[in-house]
Amino acid sequence: MSSRDRWAEWLLNRRCGGNKAELTRTMDYLTPIRDNVLAHAALKEGETLLDVGCGDGLIAFRALQQAPSGTVIFSDISADLLNHARALAEQMDTLSRCQFIQASADDLSALPDDSVDVVTTRSVLIYVNDKGSAFREFHRVLRKSGRLSIFEPINRFRYPHPPHIFWGFDVTPVMDLANKVKAVYEAIQPVDADPMLNFDERDLLELAERAGFRALHVRLDVAVVQSDAVEWDVFVNVAGNPRIPTLDEAMNQALSRTEREAFVRQLRPSVETRQGTQSTAVAYLWATKQ
């Protein structure tokens, strides 16, 4: 059993099921997102960037490379992830240009007003109940003409799925079993209340505007494509976020042994032969404090 908190354990292990190939695929997906966030941030030499919800430092370490005389503040609610990032910064000989604060996105009181030039986030607001407070905090800590650049998945796009669809795959013959498994996830993340599901790109725009940001831009990217090639053992052992079980864990919780066998018998061939559809929507927002 890992001694790391759930955020660190997910980001460093459960996100990819401990599989190196899946980690590579994940990083191939995240790298252009990181680059887009930083491009919209327009980071300049010598500036201070605050990376809220820094995780393992995907954006923060790239910012250190882009602005070799700048400072990066690593902020996260996870002490374990901050320790992980601090160790990496020491290995990379960039520790002197780094600061580390343990804080949530909606309470950055450890930082004074008008103290940073850029605020970035990636997939952070999906965990924040009070997104309005987060935007107000971003605005508060930014200096005049400071820039905000964020990326968020819009998880309620085409959600909830029809009862015969499970994670993009047709499971009509075992729809009753699929709904039992879905119920495990829905109990943890109810569609109308969970912060991952209760907003879209229009809400982000409105919240940023209410907080005082101007020169606002929002870009929504939507894709409906064939499901990725993925090994079954990876598929069932990856957790979609820190709060939910893997599919293997959810099946064990919701189904009897016989039911599980029937469900797997239906779903596994579709996964392994890419017979599903992936529907995704993500939003970039960037803005200026004037």
Q: Residue range 71-87: average pLDDT?
A: 98
Q: Residue range 116-130: average pLDDT?
A: 98
Domains in the chain, please, with CATH?
Answer: 1-154+199-224+279-290 (3.40.50.150), 155-194+230-273 (no CATH)
The C-alpha atoms of residue 42 and residue 149 are separated, in whole angstroms, by 9
Q: Where are the beta strands (DSSP E) in the chain?
A: 48-52, 71-76, 98-102, 116-122, 142-153, 165-166, 169-170, 213-226, 277-289
Beta bridge partners of 135: none
Greatest extent of the chain over all pairs of C-alpha atoms, in Å: 62
Tokens matching residue 205: 């725009």
> Given pLDDT bands bounded at 50, 70 and 90, which one contains residue 236?
very high
Residue-wise pLDDT for 151-204, tens only, equals 999 999 988 889 999 999 999 999 999 999 999 999 999 988 899 999 999 999
Q: What is the pLDDT of residue 2?
A: 65
What is the rounded average pLDDT for all residues in the chain? 96
Rounded to an integer, what is the distance from CA 103 to the centroid of its chain? 17
